[in-house]
């Protein structure tokens, strides 16, 4: 069975894109067929897997707005088993262009339904907002992964996000679940990080992944080389933890079955 997971948090800089690219690449390295869907106009997932935006022929914009067959927008990455539907800055217009269209919230869902059978995991990298692109992602997804940065205002804005999840559950996608909450950019040298972990665990309890992503400079370097961490530096701490996370994600799915 395939699973569609939206990686979402309306805060920017919490590790959504880093998680999409590296969880995706690690799942692929474990033999899963993975499709990344970049639905952030910044296109950082797209460049993060080594795709030059200037060379993109069909992007997620064409799928959502021009009703291009999603198969026509899938590009292979350098990592075996890892494909992507890329995004370019053109997508920035989509928030406005979608407003007057019919069934604007379900466009992504309909498109991904055509691809579902071909992948084990489809990971959607959401933009830092709760606009129509994120609503499309939550409507298309089976579940969400929420990355939370281990920093002072970590829980700020979360009630807004959870409220949006509830609204989507009520009106657009009754079966949407919270897949897991991922703590990112943990710095073991500060007490603050430990406090944040405790607070997040109190709030989300068993939904919090055991794997905690530490700050790792190699993770922040890899995107500028257009590589996932497992190819950029397979021996780094970053590669180790994202591989651990991928195993945890697979395990939860097996346990649920």
Interface residue list for ligand ADP (CB under 6 A): 12-18, 44, 128, 184-185, 213, 215-216, 219-220, 223
Residues 255 and 206 sit within 8 Å (Cβ to Cβ): no
Q: Which two tokens stand for residue 26?
A: 């690690």
Cα–Cα nearest to 136, from 117, 108, 170: 108
Q: In the complex, what is the shortest distance from the CB of residue 235 to ligand ADP, in angstroms, rounded to a whole number?
A: 16
CB of 65 to ligand ADP, least distance (A): 23
Question: Minimum distance between the CB of residue 160 and ligand ADP, rounded to whole angstroms?
Answer: 16
Q: Which residue, 128 or 157, has its beta carbon nearer to ligand ADP? A: 128
Residue 33 or 53: the one with the smaller Cβ distance to ligand ADP is 53
Question: For the chain, how far is it from start to end, CA to CA, in angstroms?
Answer: 10
Q: How far is the CB of 28 from ligand ADP (least distance, A)?
A: 18
Contacts by residues 199-203 (CB-CB < 8 Å, ≥ 24 positions apart) = 199/154, 199/155, 200/148, 200/154, 200/155, 203/155, 203/158
Give the single-character DSSP code of 145. E
Q: Which does 216 bind (CB under 5 to 8 A by kind): Mg ion, ligand ADP, none?
A: ligand ADP
* For ligand ADP, the closer CB: 57 or 156: 156
Helices (H) and strands (E) counted in the chain, each on its own, are: 11, 7
Count CB atoms within 10 A of the CB of residue 235: 9
Cβ-based nearer residue to ligand ADP, 47 or 136? 47
User: Which residues in this chain contact Mg ion in the complex, by CB under 5 A?
Assistant: 16-17, 44
CB of 194 to ligand ADP, least distance (A): 16
How many other C-beta atoms lie within 10 A of the C-beta of residue 78? 13
Helix (H) or strand (E) holding 250: helix 237-256
- Shortest distance in whole angstroms from residue 118 CB to Mg ion: 25
Q: Of 116 and 214, which CB lies nearer to ligand ADP in the complex structure?
A: 214
Least separation in angstroms between residue 130's CB and ligand ADP is 14
> CB neighbours of 234 closer than 8 A, spacing ≥ 6?
none
State how far the alpha carbon of 222 is from the alpha carbons of 17, 26, 50, 132, 227, in Å: 12, 14, 10, 30, 5
Which listed option, ligand ADP, Mg ion, none, makes contact with residue 220 (CB within 5 to 8 Å by class)?
ligand ADP
Pick between residue 34 and residue 87 the one whose CB is nearest to Mg ion.
87
In the complex with ligand ADP, the residue whose CB is nearer, 121 or 232, is 232
Q: Which does 215 bind (CB under 5 to 8 A by kind): Mg ion, ligand ADP, none?
A: ligand ADP
């Amino acid at each position: 069975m395939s699973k569609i997971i939206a990686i979402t948090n309306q805060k920017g800089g919490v590790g959504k894109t880093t998680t999409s690219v590296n969880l995706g690449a690690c799942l692929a390295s474990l033999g899963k067929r993975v499709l990344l869907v970049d639905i952030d106009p910044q296109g950082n997932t797209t460049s993060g897997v080594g795709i030059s935006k200037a060379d993109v022929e069909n992007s997620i914009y064409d799928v959502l707005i021009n009703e291009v067959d999603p198969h026509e927008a899938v590009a292979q990455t350098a990592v075996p088993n890892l494909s992507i539907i890329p995004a370019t800055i053109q997508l920035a217009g989509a928030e406005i262009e979608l407003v007057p269209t019919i069934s604007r919230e379900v466009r992504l869902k309909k498109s991904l339904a055509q691809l579902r059978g071909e992948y084990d995991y489809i990971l959607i990298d959401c933009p830092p907002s709760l606009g129509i692109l994120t609503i499309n992602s939550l409507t298309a997804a089976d579940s969400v992964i929420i990355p939370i940065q281990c920093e002072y205002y970590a829980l700020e804005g979360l009630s807004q996000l959870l409220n949006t999840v509830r609204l989507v559950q009520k009106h657009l996608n009754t079966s949407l679940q919270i897949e897991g909450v991922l703590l990112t950019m943990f710095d073991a040298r500060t007490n603050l990080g430990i406090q944040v972990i405790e607070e997040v665990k109190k709030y989300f309890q068993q939904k919090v992944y055991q794997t905690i992503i530490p700050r790792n400079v190699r993770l922040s370097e890899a995107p500028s080389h257009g590589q996932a961490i497992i190819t950029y530096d397979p021996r780094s701490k970053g590669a180790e933890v994202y591989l651990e996370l991928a195993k945890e994600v697979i395990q939860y799915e097996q346990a649920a079955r």
